[in-house]
């Protein structure tokens, strides 16, 4: 069994990992959109990270 402290750190590790992949996903979408649509890259998606 985990102690409560270990459980918290494991949960926060999972959250950081999913948050990071979410940010990378948004970043890639923004880049693709700016390439294909030739818009300036919007700052909104980056500010969410």
27 φ/ψ angles, rounded to the nearest 5 degrees:
-60, -45
d(CA 11, CA 13) in angstroms, rounded, equals 5
d(CA 42, CA 14) in angstroms, rounded, equals 28
pLDDT at 20: 80
pLDDT at 38: 60
- For residues 27 and 44, the answer to whether their CB atoms sit within 8 Å is no
How is the chain split among helix, strand and coil, in percent rounded to 5? Answer: 80, 0, 20
Quick check: 33 pLDDT over 60?
yes
**Could you read off the pLDDT of 3-31 as tens digits, one per residue?**
656 666 656 666 677 778 888 898 898 88
pLDDT band at 46 (very low <50, low <70, confident <90, very high): low
Higher pLDDT, 26 or 35: 26
């Amino acid at each position: 069994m985990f102690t409560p402290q270990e459980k918290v750190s494991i949960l926060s590790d999972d959250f950081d990992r999913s948050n990071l992949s979410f940010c990378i996903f948004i970043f890639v979408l923004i880049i693709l959109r700016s390439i294909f649509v030739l818009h300036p890259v919007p700052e909104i998606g980056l500010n969410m990270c």
